[in-house]
Structure 1
Amino acid sequence: MTHPLTILGIESSCDETAAAVIHDGKIVSNVVMSQLIHQQYGGVVPELAARAHETNIIPVVTAALKEAAMEKEQLHAIGFTQGPGLLGPLLVGSCFAKSLAFSLGIPLIGVHHIQAHVLANFIDDPKPHFPFLCLTVSGGHTQIILVKDYFSMEVLGETQDDAAGEAFDKIAHLMGLGYPGGALIDRYAQEEGNPQAFAFPATHMPHFDFSFSGIKTVFSLFIRSKTPAFIQANRADIAASIQAVLVHMLLDKLTKAAQKSGIGTIALAGGVAANSYLRQQLKALAAQHHWTIFVPAIAYCTDNAAMVAITAYYKHQLKAFTGLDAKSLPRYPLRA
């Protein structure tokens, strides 16, 4: 008799220490501990992030096992984010995962961070059918990915400089909103913000690629030309206007990729997939073009370990295990 597979997933690629347990293909716990220390710096400080992971990882893993009503001896494998990400934080997670797997005598499964974001779409029902296009948008990555199978993915287009999530954070910082900025831009835009109040130029790139450095420069010049009182008085309109341009840049390329490929199954992934305006506009496009769309729950968009656990679950079925001597940063055909 085959017992249900139980896997612990660990995520530590940036500033979220996370652990999750998947049992028989279902996520039964998902614990995330954020690092508030970075707020005072307006962005993630890698060394401070690594130290915080060292402090947080045992309590977070313990909490995930407790929430799942599991003992570590019941685990069949350990999945962990192998890369890409910040080197120090990745090393904390990988060393902990290797040590735990070695002590329990169970397999270790390295997980590609971007693949995990994409496969977050398979945590809950309904699940997408292959092939589908996935717009993966986060603080470090912006890509349109053709997903042919769980581990057969082709990047059709990606940012040539900054990621969309990083642009959201930088723009929020320039407005004095704090960090992390993407959620704050979204929140203020919803306060009756007019997305057409201010005109910001979109960046046009060939094929399905993106560029967000130029719009950050334009926005910086705009903010510098305004008084603090003006920015405060027009905060909602400014947030809504810049958000609209960024979202339309993303969806314009996604629409072109869908039309060129003839694929009408579309998914979102990554932290920016939690943006309410992006979700709203994608839903409108889906109705217009007769797409079938999939968007993970918000808890599975931002960095989390549930997406690591589900990816490790599918890799375990292929016996795609990782040696204890594996380097932290993997070399996958999926560019990231």
Structure 2
Amino acid sequence: MIVLGIESSCDETAAAVVRDGRQVCSSVVASQVAVHHPYGGVVPELASRKHIEAIVPVVDQAIGEAGVDAGAIDGVAVTQGPGLIGSLLVGFSFAKGFAYGHRIPWIGVDHLEAHINSVFLEADPPSFPFVALLVSGGHTSIYHVTSHRDFHPMGQTRDDAAGEAYDKVAKMLGLGYPGGGVIDRLAAQGDPTRIAFTRPFLDRKQFDFSFSGIKSAVMRHLQLHPDPGPEDQAHIAAGFQAAVVEVLTEKIIHAAKAKDCAHLAVVGGVAANQGLRRAITRDAGAAGIQVHIPAIDLCGDNAAMVAVVGYHRLAAGEHSGMDDDVYSRIKFRPA
């Protein structure tokens, strides 16, 4: 089955063609970083307008790069939520029209479910059951995954997501937006022991997260030590990243042990963080747990992961109707 995936939940317009839920025939992502960079974050109205401009060229490019005719596509999968309503509506409406025009089934997909399924696009996907750490700009959660469709929540952030904390700390340091990559690179140049921040919510008996406190701690440090030079910035970034990475690593490994899982996955935009990838791979390996992390281009928002979910749902006979709508907040409530 050939599925066209479409993603437009935030500030990336993406389309992909995936065969049988495993083979990525093409994956195209149009980023809006340059548009939102001057504002220090995503501006919803600008994001929506850019999606309108990009959706047709991006889909055309994805189909062209896949080397298939549009008539050979068996179904369409599109992100339904959560996300920015205006952005979601662009991709969702296009998917409805494409499916209607080609007389093929289509399915709305939850963004979080898609991220968790992104590991199945790798050559060596995890065996069920496994635990998954979904960590991004809007979400930080742990799930016990028992099938492509069954996800049992174990913990989530009680306030800010890890990715949001990265962006806010980068903004405090004057490093611009987005902050994840620049903090990761800067942290590699600093000494994480020079400025030690408290590890937020490190209690191993539960799996919830909290990252608002560490943002406040960085702010207080900068109030006491204003205008840090490049070397001090590197130490602050290193101390901040060490604290966040330790919490994420400890909790997902403890979750795997609690569920007696031999496999764990790390997905979402923050899964591209090199410090996090190294720490989890090292510590989980020492505990005898196999780690699965998607390739960098599959960590951020992309349409290939949407097509994976679409394949499994369409193959099971599910489909969406023309009266279905998008949703902005987490609606994904795994069984």
TM-score (norm 1): 0.95
- What's 2:9 paired with? 13
- CA-atom RMSD, angstroms? 1.4
- What's 1:212 paired with? 211
Distance 1:255 1:123 in 2: 23
- Structure 1, 204-213 or 115-124: larger mean CA deviation: 204-213
The change in CA–CA distance for 1:263 and 1:62 in structure 2 (over 3 A counts) is: same
Question: What does 1:78-117 correspond to in 2, within 5 Å?
Answer: 78-117=76-115
Aligned partner (choices 23, 39, 47) of residue 26 of structure 1: 23
- The alpha carbon displacement at 1:258 in A equals 2.0
- The alpha carbon displacement at 1:333 in A equals 2.0
Distance 2:170 2:69 in 1: 42
* Residues 223, 231 of structure 1: 8 Å contact kept: no
Question: What does 1:1-336 correspond to in 2, within 5 Å?
Answer: 5-24=1-20, 25-35=22-32, 36-191=34-189, 193-204=190-201, 207-228=206-227, 230-329=228-327, 331-334=331-334
* Residues 285, 291 of structure 2: 8 Å contact kept: no
Name the SS of the counterpart of 1:234 in structure 2.
helix
Distance 2:232 2:53 in 1: 41
* Residues 171, 216 of structure 1: 8 Å contact kept: yes
> How many residues are treated as equivalent by the alignment?
329
* Residues 188, 238 of structure 2: 8 Å contact kept: yes
- The alpha carbon displacement at 1:29 in A equals 0.3
- Structure 1, 259-268 or 301-310: larger mean CA deviation: 259-268
* Residues 175, 231 of structure 1: 8 Å contact kept: no
Distance 2:122 2:251 in 1: 27
* Residues 113, 332 of structure 2: 8 Å contact kept: no
- The alpha carbon displacement at 1:194 in A equals 1.3
- Structure 1, 145-154 or 281-290: larger mean CA deviation: 281-290
- The alpha carbon displacement at 1:331 in A equals 4.0
Percent identity over the alignment is 45
TM-score (norm 2): 0.95
Distance 1:200 1:286 in 2: 23
* Residues 20, 28 of structure 1: 8 Å contact kept: yes
- Structure 1, 23-32 or 299-308: larger mean CA deviation: 23-32
Once the two structures are superposed, residues 99-143 of structure 1 have per-residue CA deviations (whole angstroms, 9 ceiling, x without a partner) of 111111110111110110000000021011100000110000000
- Structure 1, 99-108 or 309-318: larger mean CA deviation: 309-318
Give the letter for the 1:227 counterpart: P
Distance 1:302 1:332 in 2: 19
* Residues 135, 141 of structure 2: 8 Å contact kept: yes
- The alpha carbon displacement at 1:256 in A equals 2.2
Once the two structures are superposed, residues 231-282 of structure 1 have per-residue CA deviations (whole angstroms, 9 ceiling, x without a partner) of 4232222211110101111112212212222222111100000000101001
Once the two structures are superposed, residues 123-174 of structure 1 have per-residue CA deviations (whole angstroms, 9 ceiling, x without a partner) of 0210111000001100000001100100000110000111000001111111
Once the two structures are superposed, residues 79-110 of structure 1 have per-residue CA deviations (whole angstroms, 9 ceiling, x without a partner) of 10011111110111100110111111110111
Once the two structures are superposed, residues 177-205 of structure 1 have per-residue CA deviations (whole angstroms, 9 ceiling, x without a partner) of 111100110111123x2121101112226
- The alpha carbon displacement at 1:37 in A equals 0.8
User: Which ranges of structure 2 fall in alignment gaps of 5 or more residues?
Assistant: none
- The alpha carbon displacement at 1:78 in A equals 0.8
The change in CA–CA distance for 1:231 and 1:221 in structure 2 (over 3 A counts) is: farther
* Residues 167, 177 of structure 2: 8 Å contact kept: yes
- The alpha carbon displacement at 1:218 in A equals 1.0
* Residues 166, 180 of structure 2: 8 Å contact kept: yes
User: Which ranges of structure 1 fall in alignment gaps of 5 or more residues?
Assistant: none
Name the SS of the counterpart of 1:149 in structure 2.
coil
Give the letter for the 1:16 counterpart: E
Distance 1:261 1:223 in 2: 41
Name the SS of the counterpart of 1:27 in structure 2.
strand
Distance 1:184 1:255 in 2: 26
Distance 1:124 1:133 in 2: 17
Distance 1:313 1:28 in 2: 14
Give the letter for the 2:98 counterpart: L
